[in-house]
């Protein structure tokens, strides 16, 4: 009778289940109760009548699974549902039916394994893979060039899993125990990210597509050449890249002298006064026009360029006044920086003619003694930077004061959004200073600290034992990265290895010497420090007990990197991983392995690196001060942020945060809001809501528009800005963020 009642309820159960089901190809679909019924019935037909289950039992199982799926806080993978079916059949004592069901699953799995790559590629072409569709918030998955890159990536991942990587690394990656980053580029011998030696390429010439590019004779030409270099570099590696505006500063005076000569000649021809002040003013006016055009060229070309991996170059521009000598050259650099900030504050027009926030280039502005107080020479430039941040989320800020403390007196940019090179006494410039430009990162493998904690079941002794095992697993993964690059000849990417971006090796020469002795780094990433503490001590790492434990774990990561480095002469470094899609993947894997643990696995995301959890109430200044201690233990890369409302009418508050950054933390950013609805013209914050099926969607608070194609949304994702929307895990994380100011 109970089964019959349950069967009666199951008719409407399918309509009540809001949760999505993730198919094997990554597509998210609505839960379909009839598929469970059909699968059990198919197994039922294979057994003798005496062992068959009746229709009430079949529907009771389907009904029970529907309720389980409904209770889950995340999209359920089809494999999980099949496990539930198998368990429920056994629970009904349908052992023979369960046996047939298991055998059917096994046969289907064998068939699928024969064409996994084919299915993945077809899912990409038809835009069915939800995970890939929102894997990168700066890639449009519909565009052919993006699809071409993703399709090549599917083949590369297949080769990587089947042939190139040890089975233990592949299995750990699939289970979310570690993350072997960028496996879709592993088959190719490409590295992660770098600092372009733009000075060498501009001053000494370079070669692009077999064409000799000599030293530019004007600032405008130097800007043009820079964009071509950036595009070429982006197409030959898979991570971020950075260049400094200081390397463009010398070309301002080259243009000044050239323009001055032209002004003098014009005035002579016209019989005009040769007054030096008049000539200077005309020259400076024309020079500013050229600087404006040159910066406009950089900004627009970098935004509109489409590299071979289907996105604009992931590039950062570094703005550090003291990187050039005091005097005219520093003033020229200030002029360049001022123009960059003005143009970025204006934004770019989209296809509708609306000014929006571009994702790239990312901007970093260095705070130092000559620009951090009201009385300092370049204070007006800092105020302009604050206004730009309030409107367009950039620039981000490096404190020269704190960086010198942590980096042996050096101030330099990260590669891309947060990956920092190590300071190496073995790597010097001709003048004896530490070398940074021209160096690079070999790759990243990230440890899931939450999984270590959950696997240890809260037992401290077990935690440290498992951590040691997982770190060695990461070490083996990083060795795979390193060894894949060994033997690479310079001819594979001439712009990088032969023509100055990273080196000037001979044709046919191997890059091996650049993989040792500190020339390049290799990164041990980590994620989920907050959730790790919640599982192990029951408290956030902002609590004294949690903080002590978290710092001890961070120190252990650094100790292991030091141990590996001393043994192998490879620069291992601890890196606060900027997870975009991986935060969702790790969360799903944790839920599958350990279920829902309050405060640990109850979200569709885990926390990036050492960050304070997005839901934790803490003010901006306390957050930055707290996280500064963790930046010290992330020498391979880290960035902190504070979440703030629209600050365009409160620039003094932005400046207060910037001054606090200067005194307290090496590298930080302000997350403001910069959205636009094309349907009603609303400008402000577009919100995240839950639709009828339980999916998170973006909605204009003014007109209710939910069409992503008719809105411009920009959010800080992982140290950089995303504009192409995000997967459900990252979207939930964005929705959960609390304001810190």
Kindly report, residue by residue over 321-356, the tens digit of the pLDDT.
999 999 999 999 999 999 999 999 998 888 778 888
Q: Which two tokens stand for residue 96?
A: 């023979």
Please, is 118 exposed, middle or buried when counting C-beta atoms within 10 Å of its C-beta (0-12, 13-18, 19+)? exposed
Q: Which long-range contacts (CB under 8 A, 24 or more apart) does 256-261 make?
A: 256/283, 256/284, 256/287, 258/217, 258/218, 259/283, 259/286, 259/287, 259/290
Active site residue 589: no
From first CA to last CA, the distance across the chain in angstroms is: 59
Q: If you ran DSSP here, which 8-state letter would residue 52 be given? A: P
Residue 58, in any domain of the structure: yes
Number of domains in the chain: 1
- In the prediction, which pLDDT does 692 show? 82
Q: Give the C-alpha distances (Å, rounded to integers) separating 655 from 317, 390, 649, 715.
A: 21, 10, 12, 21
- In the prediction, which pLDDT does 528 show? 97
Look at residue 50 and tell me whether its pLDDT is greater than 90. Answer: no
Instruction: With CA atoms as reference, report the closest residue to 524 among 557, 498, 549, 496.
Output: 557
Beta bridge mates, 149: none
For residue 732, give the H/E element and its range.
Answer: helix 728-736
Cα-Cα-Cα-Cα torsion 666, 629, 553, 194, nearest 10 degrees, comes to 0
pLDDT confidence band for 135 (50 / 70 / 90): very low
- In the prediction, which pLDDT does 579 show? 77
- Of residues 90 and 426, which shows the higher confidence score? 426
Place of tokens 């440290």: 464
Strand 194-195, strand 315-319: pairing: unpaired
Radius of gyration of the chain (CA): 28
Q: Which of 192, 242, 520, 581 is catalytic?
A: 192
Active site residue 415: yes
Q: Which of 183, 236, 255, 441 is catalytic?
A: 441
Taking the C-alpha atoms of residue 448 and residue 460, their distance in angstroms, rounded to an integer, is 17
Residue 629, in any domain of the structure: no
Q: Which two tokens stand for residue 76?
A: 């359920």
Taking the C-alpha atoms of residue 334 and residue 342, their distance in angstroms, rounded to an integer, is 12
Instruction: With CA atoms as reference, report the closest residue to 610 among 590, 635, 645.
Output: 635
Q: Which of 130, 290, 580, 643 is catalytic?
A: 580
Look at residue 18 and tell me whether its pLDDT is greater than 70. Answer: no
3-class secondary structure per residue, 352-412: CCCEECCCCCEEEEEECCCCCCCCCCCHHHHHHHHHHHHHHCCCEEEEHHHHHHHCCCCCC
Q: Which of 193, 317, 319, 345 is catalytic?
A: 193
Taking the C-alpha atoms of residue 417 and residue 235, their distance in angstroms, rounded to an integer, is 18
For residue 660, give the H/E element and its range.
Answer: helix 651-664
Would you call the peptide bond into 105 cis, given omega within 30 degrees of 0 as the criterion? no
- In the prediction, which pLDDT does 111 show? 57
Contact present, 526 and 577 (Cβ < 8 Å): yes
* b (16+ CB within 10 A) / e for 664-698: bbbbbbbbbbbbbbbeeebbebbebeeeeeebbeb
Q: Which two tokens stand for residue 362?
A: 């990312």
Average pLDDT over residues 651-666: 98
Taking the C-alpha atoms of residue 712 and residue 698, their distance in angstroms, rounded to an integer, is 10
Look at residue 721 and tell me whether its pLDDT is greater than 50. Answer: yes
Report phi then psi at 466, rounded to 5: -65, -40
- In the prediction, which pLDDT does 595 show? 87
Q: Which of 13, 84, 335, 415 is catalytic?
A: 415
Residue 53, in any domain of the structure: yes
pLDDT tens per residue, range 544-578 = 999 999 999 999 999 999 999 999 999 999 999 98
Q: Say how many C-beta atoms besides its own lie within 10 A of residue 326's C-beta.
A: 11
Q: Say how many C-beta atoms besides its own lie within 10 A of residue 480's C-beta.
A: 18
**Cα 154 from chain centre:** 20
pLDDT confidence band for 17 (50 / 70 / 90): low
Span of 63-77, 388-402, 423-437, 511-525 with lowest mean pLDDT: 63-77
Residue 68, in any domain of the structure: yes
* DSSP per position, 507-529: TT-BSGGGGSTTSEEEEEEEE-H
Residue 39, in any domain of the structure: yes
Average pLDDT over residues 199-209: 96
Instruction: With CA atoms as reference, report the closest residue to 227 among 305, 174, 134, 144.
Output: 305
pLDDT tens per residue, range 482-531 = 999 999 999 999 999 999 999 999 999 999 999 999 999 999 999 999 99
Residue 269, in any domain of the structure: no
Q: Which two tokens stand for residue 412?
A: 């330099």
Q: Which of 25, 44, 419, 581 is catalytic?
A: 419
- In the prediction, which pLDDT does 709 show? 87
Q: Which of 92, 223, 403, 417 is catalytic?
A: 417
- Residue 444's SS3 state is strand
pLDDT tens per residue, range 231-261 = 999 989 999 999 999 999 999 999 999 999 9
- In the prediction, which pLDDT does 110 show? 56
Instruction: With CA atoms as reference, report the closest residue to 474 among 523, 534, 425.
Output: 523
Taking the C-alpha atoms of residue 228 and residue 244, their distance in angstroms, rounded to an integer, is 15
- Residue 176's SS3 state is coil
Q: Which two tokens stand for residue 148?
A: 């071409």
The vertex-602 CA angle with 598 and 608, nearest 5°, equals: 110
Active site residue 223: no
Instruction: With CA atoms as reference, report the closest residue to 193 among 303, 323, 313.
Output: 313
Look at residue 118 and tell me whether its pLDDT is greater than 60. Answer: no
Residue 73, in any domain of the structure: yes
Contact present, 586 and 579 (Cβ < 8 Å): yes
Active site residue 580: yes
Active site residue 417: yes
Q: Which domain does 51 fall in, by range?
A: 2-114
- Look up the pTM and report it: 0.84
pLDDT tens per residue, range 144-155 = 665 666 667 777
Contacts of 719 (CB under 8 A, 6+ apart): 396, 417, 418, 578, 639, 641, 669
Q: Which of 719, 722, 727, 733 is catalytic?
A: 719
pLDDT confidence band for 307 (50 / 70 / 90): low
For residue 601, give the H/E element and its range.
Answer: none
Say what angle helices 116-125 and 144-159 make with each other, to 10 degrees. 170
Look at residue 22 and tell me whether its pLDDT is greater than 80. Answer: no
Helices (H), 194-249: 198-204, 219-234
Look at residue 213 and tell me whether its pLDDT is greater than 60. Answer: yes
Instruction: With CA atoms as reference, report the closest residue to 140 among 619, 639, 724, 567.
Output: 724
Contacts of 408 (CB under 8 A, 6+ apart): 423, 434
Half-sphere exposure of 701 (CA within 13 A, CB side): 7
Residue 509, in any domain of the structure: no
């Amino acid at each position: 009778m109970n089964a019959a009642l349950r069967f009666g309820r199951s008719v409407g159960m399918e309509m009540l289940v809001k949760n999505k089901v993730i198919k094997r190809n990554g597509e998210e679909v609505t839960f379909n109760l009839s598929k469970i019924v059909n699968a059990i019935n198919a197994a039922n037909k294979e057994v003798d009548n005496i062992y068959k289950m009746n229709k009430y039992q079949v529907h009771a199982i389907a009904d029970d699974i529907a309720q389980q799926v409904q209770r889950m806080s995340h999209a359920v993978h089809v494999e999980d549902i099949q496990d539930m079916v198998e368990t429920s059949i056994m629970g009904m004592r349908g052992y023979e039916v369960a046996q047939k069901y298991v055998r059917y699953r096994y046969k289907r799995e064998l068939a699928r394994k024969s064409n996994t790559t084919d299915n993945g590629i077809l899912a990409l072409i038809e835009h069915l893979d939800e995970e890939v569709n929102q894997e990168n918030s700066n890639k449009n998955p519909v565009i052919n060039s993006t699809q071409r890159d993703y399709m090549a990536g599917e083949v590369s991942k297949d080769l990587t899993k089947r042939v190139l990587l040890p089975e233990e690394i592949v299995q750990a990656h699939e289970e979310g125990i570690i993350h072997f980053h960028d496996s879709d580029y592993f088959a190719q011998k490409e590295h992660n990210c770098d600092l372009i030696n733009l000075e060498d390429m501009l001053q000494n010439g370079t070669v692009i597509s077999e064409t000799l590019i000599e030293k530019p004779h004007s600032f405008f030409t130097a800007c043009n050449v820079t964009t071509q270099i950036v595009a070429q570099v982006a197409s030959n590696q898979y991570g971020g890249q950075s260049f400094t505006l200081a390397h463009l500063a010398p070309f301002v005076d080259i243009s000044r002298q050239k323009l001055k000569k032209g002004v003098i000649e014009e005035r002579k021809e016209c019989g005009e006064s040769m007054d030096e002040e008049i000539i200077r003013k005309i020259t400076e006016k024309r020079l500013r026009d050229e600087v404006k055009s040159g910066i406009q060229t950089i900004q627009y070309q970098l935004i509109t360029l489409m590299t071979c991996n289907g996105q604009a170059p992931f590039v950062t521009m570094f703005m550090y006044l003291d990187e050039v000598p005091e005097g005219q050259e520093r003033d020229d650099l200030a002029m360049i920086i001022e123009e960059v900030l003005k143009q970025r504050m204006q934004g770019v027009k989209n296809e509708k003619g609306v000014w929006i926030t571009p994702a790239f280039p990312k901007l970093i502005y260095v705070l130092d003694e000559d620009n951090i107080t009201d009385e300092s020479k370049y204070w007006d430039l800092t105020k302009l930077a604050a206004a730009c941040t309030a409107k367009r989320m950039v620039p981000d800020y490096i404190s020269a004061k704190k960086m010198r403390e942590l980096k042996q007196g050096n101030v330099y940019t990260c590669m891309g959004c947060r990956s920092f090179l190590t300071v190496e006494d073995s790597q010097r410039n001709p003048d004896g200073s530490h070398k940074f430009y021209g160096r690079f990162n070999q790759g990243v493998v990230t440890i899931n600290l939450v999984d270590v904690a959950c696997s240890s079941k809260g037992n401290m002794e077990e935690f440290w034992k498992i951590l040691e095992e997982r770190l060695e697993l990461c070490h083996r993964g990083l060795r795979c990265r390193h060894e894949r690059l060994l033997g690479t000849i310079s001819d594979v990417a001439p712009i990088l290895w032969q023509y100055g971006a990273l080196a000037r090796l001979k044709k046919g020469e191997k890059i091996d010497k650049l993989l040792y002795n500190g020339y390049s780094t290799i990164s041990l990433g980590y994620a989920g420090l907050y959730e790790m503490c919640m599982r192990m001590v029951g408290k956030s790492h902002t609590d004294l007990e949690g903080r002590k434990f978290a710092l001890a774990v961070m120190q252990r990561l650094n100790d292991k990197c030091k141990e590996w480095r001393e043994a192998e002469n490879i620069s291992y470094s601890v890196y606060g991983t900027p997870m975009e899609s991986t935060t969702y993947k790790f969360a799903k894997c944790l839920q599958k392995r350990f279920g829902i643990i309050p405060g640990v696995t109850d979200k569709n995301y885990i926390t990036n690196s050492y960050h304070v959890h997005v839901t934790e109430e803490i003010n901006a200044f306390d957050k930055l001060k707290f996280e500064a201690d963790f930046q010290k233990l992330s020498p391979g890369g880290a960035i902190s942020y504070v979440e703030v409302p629209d600050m365009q009418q409160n620039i003094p508050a932005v400046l207060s945060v910037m001054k606090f950054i200067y005194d307290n933390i090496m590298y930080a950013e302000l997350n403001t809001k910069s959205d636009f609805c094309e349907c009603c013209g609303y400008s402000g914050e577009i919100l995240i809501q839950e639709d009828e099926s339980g999916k998170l969607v973006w909605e204009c608070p003014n007109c209710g528009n939910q069409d992503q194609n008719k809105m411009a949304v920009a959010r800080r994702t992982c140290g950089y800005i995303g504009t192409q929307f995000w997967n459900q895990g990252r979207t939930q994380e964005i929705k959960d963020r609390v304001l810190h100011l």
